[in-house]
Amino acid sequence: MSSTSMSSTQQEAKEAINAAMELFHRRWMLRVIWELRDGGLTFRALQAACGDLSPTVLNQRLAELRESGLLHNDESGYRLTPMGEAAVESFTPLSRWAVRWRRSMR
């Protein structure tokens, strides 16, 4: 195999990370996921937690998260699925880094 060719596993990983970055790059997406990290919220509570997020955009993001298998809703509100919770867990190292970075900027 030449150094410029990718194995099928490498190609799959590349495509998967690109799809995840595409999803997470959408405006407000990470914020919505982050606000659900401690449990379910109703639509209004989630909108309030996100600040200036319009109801239209929140509905779009919630639909995208449901379609992506990261979120579901039930009688108590919107909740992350196990895959959504795994996404939040993957943000934990970034969160620790962000705290260190912000402190270094003071």
- Whether residue 93 is predicted with pLDDT greater than 50 in this model: the reply is yes
What is the tens place of the pLDDT at every residue in 1-11? 444 678 999 99
Name the residue with tokens 């795994």: 86
Asked if residue 12 lies in contact with residue 52, where contact means CB atoms within 8 angstroms, the answer is no
Pairing of strands 71-74, 77-80: antiparallel
Which pTM value belongs to this model? 0.82
Predicted pLDDT of residue 6: 82
* Domains of the chain and CATH, by start: 27-104 (1.10.10.10)
Task: Return the percent helix, strand and coil in the chain, to nearest 5.
Answer: 65, 10, 25
Predicted pLDDT of residue 76: 87
Q: Is 79 left (phi over 0), alpha (psi -120 to 50) or beta?
A: beta
Strand partners of residue 71: 80
What is the tens place of the pLDDT at every residue in 11-61? 999 999 999 999 999 999 999 999 999 999 999 999 999 998 999 999 999
| Beta carbons within 10 angstroms of residue 78's beta carbon | 23
